[in-house]
Each structure stands twice: as structure tokens, then as C-alpha cells.
């Protein structure tokens, strides 16, 4: 959890939202929403995520305001 907080600190104002839970049917344990100029920038931000170091994976997807 401290590595995640440190990563959020590195992202600064780019962090919009995030949540962590203890598993579910979709095998999703958490999410982070970041503000980026484009998808490539979001991927670059995701490279600092500590989740893969613990054996997890990261998926970067574009969202739209509704």
C-alpha cells in the first residue's frame, strides 16, 4: 500500500480517483483513474504502478466524461 501511495505522489494532480478492494468476480482488485493528454501519456504514467512487481497486471483504457 505504501508503494501505491508513493506512486500516486509521483503522479500528483494527474490522479483523479482510485480504489482497492479484496477481489471480486471479475478478478479486479482495484483501479486508478488518471488525467492524461492522450493514451500514450496514460501508458507512461502506468509504467510506475507498483502492481506488476507484486505479480499483478495493469490495463490502460480510455474513458469519456458522461
CA distances from residue 26 to 12, 31, 33, 51, 66 in whole angstroms, order as listed: 29, 12, 18, 17, 23
Q: Is residue 66 part of a domain?
A: no
What pLDDT, on a 0 to 100 scale, did the predictor assign at position 41?
Answer: 95
Q: Is residue 64 part of a domain?
A: no
Write the pLDDT tens digit of every residue in 9-60: 898 888 888 766 665 566 667 788 899 999 999 999 999 999 899 888 898 9
What pLDDT, on a 0 to 100 scale, did the predictor assign at position 65?
Answer: 79
What total of structural domains would you count in the chain? 1
What pLDDT, on a 0 to 100 scale, did the predictor assign at position 60?
Answer: 93
What pLDDT, on a 0 to 100 scale, did the predictor assign at position 57?
Answer: 87
Q: Is residue 43 part of a domain?
A: yes
Q: Is residue 37 part of a domain?
A: yes
Contact 33, 59 (CB under 8 A): no
Q: Is residue 62 part of a domain?
A: no
Q: Is residue 39 part of a domain?
A: yes
Residues 6+ apart with CB under 8 A from 43: 60
Contact 32, 18 (CB under 8 A): yes
Q: Is residue 65 part of a domain?
A: no
Residue 14: which domain range? Answer: 2-50
Contact 42, 31 (CB under 8 A): no
Amino acid at each position: 500500500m505504501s508503494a501505491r501511495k508513493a506512486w500516486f505522489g509521483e503522479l500528483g494532480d494527474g490522479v483523479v480517483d482510485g480504489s482497492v478492494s479484496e477481489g471480486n468476480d471479475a478478478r479486479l482488485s482495484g483501479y486508478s483513474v488518471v488525467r492524461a493528454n492522450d493514451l500514450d501519456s496514460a501508458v507512461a504514467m502506468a509504467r510506475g504502478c507498483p502492481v506488476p512487481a507484486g505479480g499483478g497486471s495493469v490495463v490502460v483504457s480510455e474513458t469519456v466524461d458522461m
